[in-house]
Amino acid sequence: MRLQGLPQGKTADRKDNHYEVKPAMPNWQDLEFLSTSPICKRCLGRVFGRVGHGLSNNDRGDRMSFALTALGFSPDLKEERECSICHGLFLDLEGLGASIHEALGDYDFSTFLVGSENRVHNPLEKELESRFGMGESIKKEFNREFGKILSGRMQKEVEFKDPEVIVTVNLEYLSYRFWFRSLFIRGRYRKLVRGIPQTRWINFDKHDSVEEIIGIPAQTMVRAENFYLHAAGREDVDVLMLGGGREFVLELSSPHLRNIDLSNLAEKVRKSGAVEIADLEIVGGEMVEKVKNSRHDKSYRALIIAGDPIDPVAFRKAVSELSGKIIYQRTPLRVSGRRADLIRERIVKKADTISIDGTRAVVEMTAEAGTYIKELINGDGGRTDPNLSGLYGSSLKVEELDVLAITEEM
């Protein structure tokens, strides 16, 4: 039977219209195909999910079923459990919600988002999509509907932009996994003892890196899975970090708690006697790259040793010649395995002789970010040019080095 007045023929460019909220222009065969498809009311509604703002897919299914009947078709709607598209996926969302709620019970968070994965390609769904255009995907409906259920049950807000927790449900097995936004703490650290590396060694028994001295108490406080120190540059193991300290962001992954008493953390770190932290605040994850990429001048104090008693006049002259000088540094031999072998241009902004005593002298200098100070003094076999040993005319070595301050660009 053929009804009069029914629009005929498909729109020519249906694929291009996928994203338009526009009723499809299906032909007779398409409507017949739809009426005889073994699907549920919800899935029928979802085919037209982009039409009828404010309607649920069940409402759409009801109306579409009515329309098909009015046009003389006999839609044969299935129960959801029998549906060839959703297979009853939506029937026990409350049960799934209860299980996820329980699994998350131990975690402190206020915002979350539901995602879904592993939806096996469904040929009937694809066929309907090619005939009627893109409706609403089953994933999208699941994420929305299950998000509402979880939100009500857990009393947490759904947040799209930057949720603290993402719940991803596997739509085939109804298994799930969680992702937790890391907690980020920004601050500045001072290193008061020599011989401490900035970051931990994997499989190393001593837990005395700056990263661990700050990270272990913080990890314990929020019951995080792991911790990572992201710092604005690094000092050598044997170099102290003094003055206002070096900026860092401590990342605590998968924390159970999101509130942390920062002054209590600072106090715990201070008790180490090796590291101090200050100016602590909770920040967003975008600060990690900002801090890591920040470039600041650094001021150093170096204790220098010479082979023979130092000639004060010649030494002071050599130091003052470095002040304001552009130097060329080829990647030092001691780090050449880890860094590209390049020649870098750096400016020594300031250099002062503080004291001279026999074969020892103390020098303070401020240099651009990335300047290798030990090599600036010993010359690194000519790889740094000019260098203090060369200007002085005799070999000099750095016995101790401290970072006094990390300053804004001067």
To the nearest whole angstrom, how small is the minimum distance from the Cβ of residue 37 to Zn ion? 10
User: Which is closer to Zn ion, CB of 116 or CB of 182?
Assistant: 116
- DSSP character string of 81-121: GG-TTTTTTTTTHHHHHHHHHHHTTT---SEEEEEEE----
- Span from 75-83, 96-104, 160-168, 240-248 in contact with Zn ion (CB under 5 A): 75-83
User: Which is closer to Zn ion, CB of 47 or CB of 405?
Assistant: 47
User: Which is closer to Zn ion, CB of 31 or CB of 86?
Assistant: 86
To the nearest whole angstrom, how small is the minimum distance from the Cβ of residue 61 to Zn ion? 9
Burial call 251-274: b when 16+ CB within 10 Å, e when fewer:
bbebbeebebebeebbebbeebeb
H helical segments located in 20-73: 28-36, 41-47, 57-70
User: Which is closer to Zn ion, CB of 86 or CB of 242?
Assistant: 86
Judged by DSSP in three states, 129 sits in helix
Q: At what angle do helices 262-270 and 210-222 cross, to 10 degrees?
A: 140
User: Which is closer to Zn ion, CB of 141 or CB of 247?
Assistant: 141
Residue type, 285: G
- Span from 53-61, 78-86, 268-276, 324-332 in contact with Zn ion (CB under 5 A): 78-86
To the nearest whole angstrom, how small is the minimum distance from the Cβ of residue 80 to Zn ion? 5
To the nearest whole angstrom, how small is the minimum distance from the Cβ of residue 125 to Zn ion? 9
Segment 262 to 321, residues that bind Zn ion, using CB under 5 A:
none
**Catalytic annotation present for 162:** no
Specify whether the CB–CB gap between 222 and 252 falls below 8 A: yes
Segment 321 to 350, residues that bind Zn ion, using CB under 5 A:
none
Which member of 31, 40, 239, 318 binds Zn ion (CB under 5 A)? 40
- DSSP character string of 220-289: HHHT-SEEEEEESS---TTEEEEEEEEEEEEEEES-S-----HHHHHHHHHTTSSEEEEEEEEE-TTHHH
Calpha distance 275→227 (Å, rounded): 17
* Binding mask of the shown chain, residues 6 to 25, with x at each position contacting Zn ion by CB under 5 A: --------------------
Specify whether the CB–CB gap between 37 and 122 falls below 8 A: no
Which member of 86, 149, 196, 405 binds Zn ion (CB under 5 A)? 86
Q: Which residues contact 224 (CB under 8 A, 6 or more apart)?
A: 182, 183, 218, 252, 253, 254, 255, 256
To the nearest whole angstrom, how small is the minimum distance from the Cβ of residue 178 to Zn ion? 27
Calpha distance 85→120 (Å, rounded): 10
Which member of 85, 113, 274, 288 binds Zn ion (CB under 5 A)? 85
Contacts with Zn ion: how many residues (CB under 5 A)?
Answer: 5
User: Which is closer to Zn ion, CB of 141 or CB of 380?
Assistant: 141
The reply on whether position 396 binds Zn ion by CB under 5 A is no
Q: At what angle do helices 123-132 and 28-36 cross, to 10 degrees?
A: 150
16, 119, 184 from 134: Cα distances, Å:
10, 16, 41
Calpha distance 186→114 (Å, rounded): 29
User: Which is closer to Zn ion, CB of 79 or CB of 117?
Assistant: 79
Specify whether the CB–CB gap between 14 and 133 falls below 8 A: yes
The catalytically annotated residue of 59, 62, 208, 236 is 236
Calpha distance 330→342 (Å, rounded): 5
Residue type, 214: I
User: Which is closer to Zn ion, CB of 83 or CB of 291?
Assistant: 83
The reply on whether position 77 binds Zn ion by CB under 5 A is no
To the nearest whole angstrom, how small is the minimum distance from the Cβ of residue 46 to Zn ion? 8
Provide the CB-side half-sphere exposure for 41 (13 A, CA). 12
The reply on whether position 83 binds Zn ion by CB under 5 A is yes
* Binding mask of the shown chain, residues 229 to 268, with x at each position contacting Zn ion by CB under 5 A: ----------------------------------------
To the nearest whole angstrom, how small is the minimum distance from the Cβ of residue 56 to Zn ion? 13
Which member of 24, 31, 34, 43 binds Zn ion (CB under 5 A)? 43
To the nearest whole angstrom, how small is the minimum distance from the Cβ of residue 17 to Zn ion? 24
Specify whether the CB–CB gap between 112 and 152 falls below 8 A: no
- Span from 85-93, 163-171, 172-180, 265-273 in contact with Zn ion (CB under 5 A): 85-93
Residues that bind Zn ion (CB under 5 A): 40, 43, 83, 85-86
Q: Catalytic site residues?
A: 236
